[in-house]
Amino acid sequence: MEPFEALEAGDPRQVGRYRIVARLGAGGMGRVYLGRSPGGRFVAVKVVRPELAEDGGFRRRFAREVAAARRVNGAFTAGVVDADPDGSPAWLATVYVPGVPLGDAVAAHGPWPQAAVFALGAGLAEALEVIHAAGVVHRDLKPSNILLAADGPRVIDFGISVAGEASALTSTGTVVGTPGFMSPEQLTGKPVGPASDVFALGAVLAFTATGAGPFGTGSAHALSFRVVYEEPDVHQLPPVLRTLVACCLAKEPGRRPTVTTLLHQLADTFGGLPAVPRTATEPGWLPEPVAATVHSRTVAAPLPEAPPLARPETSEPPPTEPVPVEPDADPPERPAPARPREQRDFIVLPPGARLPSLPPVKAAARPAGITRRRTLLGLGGATAAGLGFVGWKIRGSGSSAPGEQRWLFRAGDSVSSSPAVAGGVVFVGSNDHNLYAVDAATGEQRWKFRTHGRVGSSPAVVGGVVFVGSEDGNLYAVDAASGERRWKFSSSPILASPAVAGGVVFVGSVDSNLYAVDAASGERRWKFRTGNVVDSSPAVVGGVVFVGSVDSNLYAVDAASGEKRWNFHTTRSLYEDPAVADGTVYVAGGAVGALYAVTL
């Protein structure tokens, strides 16, 4: 199989800032292309299928999963380097690994010797450890999602299979995964967590060592039936590997080893074998025929050249760079030197004034993180650079008419949270790691508060304090008037928005906990452990905290003690926020069209 395929008529030639060079393959989410950045870096660009991109629920989940996948940075993973979940089309770019898929290597050269299987397993277990630490479950670990390189394996497509699940369920009622590698809980609609990836890893190791999956071959239905009801066939495996794989393939998730335990078992066994490298990063870890194929793929095979971009035919003169101008002034004949940044942050137009005509500007690809909406507003690419200002707003001297824009404020990157308004100030988070305070009347920035991660948590404002979570793993309390930090509470990345009631801040985290934090001091009151990531903002009513978890449960937790009052189990992960009214909790689940009403 050749590593690259030529582009076809319907393929894009530019996605974001990346020139598209060739086809790499296709999957359930869309097509994968080889892209090249302006600086010459090659990436794998995954472009979402149009029918998925039109699903608003998919886009929201896709954005969350991309945000989570961005936090994964391990030696044996091909991480996300760029993405535009709001783009048209939506896409993400990952590190390009010029390696050989494990499935192709086994098909071409046969089963691997025991030492190489242990080396592979140790690298994959370390990759899963990093992926799970970021709050991501792969859900589709299989030979084609494992690339072999001279310095070790690389796991790809982690986290995105979760994003694809919602749309797959919406359209077909099925689950995303590969028969023979999916865990029993995936097939039966039970909660899916890190143990599901351990099951898949066991199946991958059995496939690598024998050339066949542990549940045989046949139709998807037959394979799935065996996974759920029959024992795997591991008798061909060497004794030590047989025991390890059998533990990974246990039907009950709780009986499988954790990834960390598995990593130590694999590394210790592998390191104890004679005359082999001690890690998969050392030369010689691959079987010789596979190593030769990897070498030919990564060294001998040249990367394709990017085809030239088509230029539209036009009789108009070439566009020139627009320049900043003052209201009512004639356009200059040539670009003028840019004024100091502090003088060009905003252009305020007096009543009745209009921006003068500007020369035509050639449409440019959106830089990373620039959404389609921002591009159309003239805030991205060549347009913003040519105008020579960072943000701009328009306002008149009087009140605005219905439906008329009063002002526009631009953050340093795409806005990543819903705004909160209190005391004449709008508070909003951004992908540039800042929480902004903007004057509600004028659009002027009051202050900005810097965190060390994306601020995707919508702020809550109570008693002159703004409470907001960040992907840097902290919950912050910020003075609403000054922007000064009052305290911070450290946990794990916070994707959901906090709720404040009775002097306590309640917030979930990717570490699977719901926290109760004293609003005045930042001290922890209690924490409640769920079975997976808490990406749902809690609702607090009548001394009870209601929150959903990716473990498919809606929890009712006593607000004072942190003790569980009850839980309601659904069939799919709960990402959305619950609502409470008239003695009933309403929550939307991941299943097709599922809205649950649960009695308090």
- E strands, 16-137, where? 18-26, 30-36, 42-48, 80-84, 91-95, 100-101
C-alpha–C-alpha distance, residues 378 and 415, integer Å: 16
Contact 86, 60 (CB under 8 A): no
Do 92 and 47 form a contact (C-beta atoms < 8 A)? no
CA 485 from chain center: how many Å? 28
Name the nearest CA neighbour of 326 among 348, 341, 342, 345. Answer: 348
CA 268 to each of CA 132, 201, 223: distance values in angstroms, whole numbers, following the listed order:
22, 17, 32
How do the residues of the chain divide into helix, strand and coil, expressed in percent and rounded to 5? 25, 25, 50
* Structure-token match 């189990």, residue found: 569
d(Cα 311, Cα 318) in Å, to the nearest integer?
12
Residue 219 φ/ψ, nearest 5 degrees: -70, 165
Short-list 418, 447, 446, 452, CA closest to 432 = 452
Catalytic residue IDs: 140
CA dihedral 7, 11, 12, 15 (to 10 degrees): -80
Which stretches does DSSP call E strand in 420-484?
420-422, 425-429, 434-439, 445-450, 460-462, 465-469, 474-479
Within 10 angstroms of residue 321's Cβ, the number of other Cβ atoms is 14
Q: Tokens 């949270």 — which residue?
A: 417
Are 83 and 72 within 8 A, CB to CB? no
